[in-house]
Amino acid sequence: MRTPVIAGNWKLFKTIGEATALVNELKPLVARTRNVEIVVAPVFTALSRVFDAVAGSNINLAAQNCYWEEEGAFTGEVAPKLLKDAGCSHVIIGHSERRQYFGESDATVNRKAKAAIAAGLTAIVCVGETLAERESEKTFSIIESQIESGLEGLSAEVLANVIIAYEPVWAIGTGKTASDEQAQEVHSFIRHLLARLFGQAAADAVRILYGGSVKPDNVKGLMAKPDIDGALVGGASLKAESFAAIVNFGL
């Protein structure tokens, strides 16, 4: 059995005060939740204070990005070990907004994933096709190359520290969700691909999250699909009530 993961990506929202207020509101709403890995990903500047706020609770902390070097003359970058130091257990890598606006490529995703895992973090590796790619029937070839290149050189053992997030770009922040069937079709494809690359046992253990306008009213249908193991949530994670309703999808 794979433990579901519900991760909130707060993107470039929330001051330190707003971020700590949000987790303080969230904590009692999810305090009794069992068997769900709950993750929140604030901006870098709020990580340490949010970590203090979630200490002792069932909420885990993620960063939204990292660099692959440990230290050095890399102005403006943040190393995985510094994320660990700030209290992170997870880091999101290769989000489509980073690919679109900041030149993130499968090669940089690969370097970041390796560095994050080496530092003891769980890497949430994002993949997904654009609308043009879906319409020209390139979805599966795009996902295949993103996974093959993004995870190149990782071993089956190390895959235990990877979570895949399938996020069709056309569904992020648009209010358009992939249908449960569309999502399951790609998730199943990803699991088969992982089995080919890393073996069946490793593939069966990997959590594959869906992301793209997940809301309290569509999470149940998605989570009912056999290869959907959780959600990466943007907009709906910015309010404690809606994020808690998603976390508590099974209640």
Contact pick of 28, 120, 173, 199 for ligand PEP (by CB under 6 A):
173
Q: E-assigned strands of the chain?
A: 5-9, 37-41, 59-63, 90-93, 122-127, 162-166, 208-211, 230-233
> Which residue, judged by CB position, is nearest to ligand PEP in the bound state?
234
Contact pick of 211, 240, 244, 249 for ligand PEP (by CB under 6 A):
211
Which range binds ligand PEP by CB under 6 A, 50-58, 184-192, 195-203, 212-220? 212-220
Decide if 95 is catalytic.
Answer: yes
* Closer CB to ligand PEP, 116 or 233, in the complex: 233
In sequence order, the β-bridge partners of residue 230 are 5
**Among candidates 59, 120, 68, which has minimal Cα distance to 93?**
68
Minimum Å gap between C-beta 164 and ligand PEP is 13
- Cα gap 22→247, rounded to integer Å: 15
Which range binds ligand PEP by CB under 6 A, 21-29, 60-68, 79-87, 207-215? 207-215
Which position among 95, 104, 129, 187 bears the catalytic label? Answer: 95
Task: State the sign of the Cα–Cα–Cα–Cα dihedral 133, 134, 136, 142.
Answer: positive
DSSP readout, 185-200? Answer: HHHHHHHHHHHHHH-H
* Closer CB to ligand PEP, 99 or 198, in the complex: 99
Structure tokens, 88: 């992170």
Residue 8 touches ligand PEP, criterion: CB under 6 A: no
232-251 residues near ligand PEP, rule: CB under 6 A: 232-236
Contact pick of 104, 106, 167, 229 for ligand PEP (by CB under 6 A):
167
Decide if 135 is catalytic.
Answer: no
DSSP readout, 76-130? Answer: T---HHHHHHTT-SEEEES-HHHHHHS---HHHHHHHHHHHHHTTPEEEEEE---
Residues involved in catalysis = 95, 167
Q: Which residues bind ligand PEP (CB under 6 A)?
A: 9, 11, 167, 172-173, 211-214, 232-236
